[in-house]
Amino acid sequence: MCPPPCQRRSLGGHTRSVPTACQSTVLFVLGCLWLVITMAEDSFIEDREELCELAPVAAAPIRCHVFVCTGKSCSAVGSAAVKEAFESELKARGILFGKEKKGKNPQGSVILTECASVGFCAIGAAVLIYPDGIWYAQVRASDVAEIVAEHIINGRVVERLALMTVSGADPGTAGILPA
Ligand code: FES
């Protein structure tokens, strides 16, 4: 339990209010909050060139974003292997955005990321491709070469695996003809 808000102590013949440990902690936390808010305001970057230097992906010619779900259920049916297969297939074609030292292409047009569960848990592994808004279900590593060749390169959806198209999406726009 906290001590009273302040304690009156006798200092050199005078009685003065001295902050308690509880008050000191509150003051410290408020000071930290002020510092964080001030720093956040100061660190907002408006210069687009500087932003692109800090995040090179912002200046890359990205045409396609592939998400592989690595939620618990998709992981149980091999989504890590699916992601690895995308990575090696896209690297082999030289279209995977990323650092050269990681075998990727800083001017690559495809970005590959993991995502959390999207609700296809019982029918994973889930793979989402944007801007096409196509959600693939039951994807296995052995399906990846076909998805890359057909969908990502040629803009043709792999219908046997595609379960859903996001409303308003324009399938076929992710095609990168020719690789
Ligand atoms: S865990 Fe992948 S969709 Fe739910």
14: β partners: 11
Based on the domain organization, do 103 and 37 belong to the same domain? no
Write down the pLDDT at residue 23. 73
Closest CA to 87 of 72, 108, 58: 108
pLDDT tens-place values along the chain, 179 residues long: 444 544 555 555 555 565 677 677 666 667 766 666 666 667 899 999 999 999 999 999 999 999 999 999 999 999 999 999 999 999 999 999 999 999 999 999 999 999 999 999 999 999 999 999 999 999 999 999 999 999 999 999 999 999 999 998 888 787 776 54
In a domain, 106, yes or no: yes
Query: What is the DSSP code string of the chain?
Result: -PPPSEEEEEETTEEEEEE-HHHHHHHHHHHHHHHHHHHHHHT----HHHHHHH-GGGGS---EEEEEE-SHHHHHTTHHHHHHHHHHHHHHTT-BBS-GGGT-BTT-SEEEEEE---S-GGG---EEEETTTEEE-S--GGGHHHIIIIIIIT----TTTEEEE-TT--TTTT--S--
Q: How buried is 83 (Cβ within 10 angstroms: 0-12 exposed, 13-18 middle, 19+ buried)?
A: buried
Based on the domain organization, do 26 and 69 belong to the same domain? no
Cα–ligand 1 centroid distance for 137 (angstroms): 10
Based on the domain organization, do 38 and 63 belong to the same domain? no
Token pair recorded at residue 62: 């990205």
Based on the domain organization, do 109 and 150 belong to the same domain? yes
Cα–ligand 1 centroid distance for 10 (angstroms): 65
| 3-state class (DSSP) for residue 20 | coil
Based on the domain organization, do 23 and 71 belong to the same domain? no
Cα–ligand 1 centroid distance for 33 (angstroms): 37
Based on the domain organization, do 63 and 38 belong to the same domain? no
Based on the domain organization, do 74 and 139 belong to the same domain? yes
User: What range does the domain containing 29 cover?
Assistant: 6-42
Cα–ligand 1 centroid distance for 78 (angstroms): 11
Which atom of ligand 1 is the closest one to the Cα of 120? 3
Contact (CB, 8 A) for 176 and 96 = no
Total of domains in the chain: 2
Based on the domain organization, do 154 and 85 belong to the same domain? yes
Write down the pLDDT at residue 2. 46
Q: Is 173 left (phi over 0), alpha (psi -120 to 50) or beta?
A: alpha
In a domain, 100, yes or no: yes
Which atom of ligand 1 is the closest one to the Cα of 123? 3
Based on the domain organization, do 71 and 101 belong to the same domain? yes
Write down the pLDDT at residue 3. 46
Based on the domain organization, do 30 and 94 belong to the same domain? no
Query: Is the distance from the beta carbon of residue 88 to the nearest atom of ligand 1 less than 6 Å?
Result: no
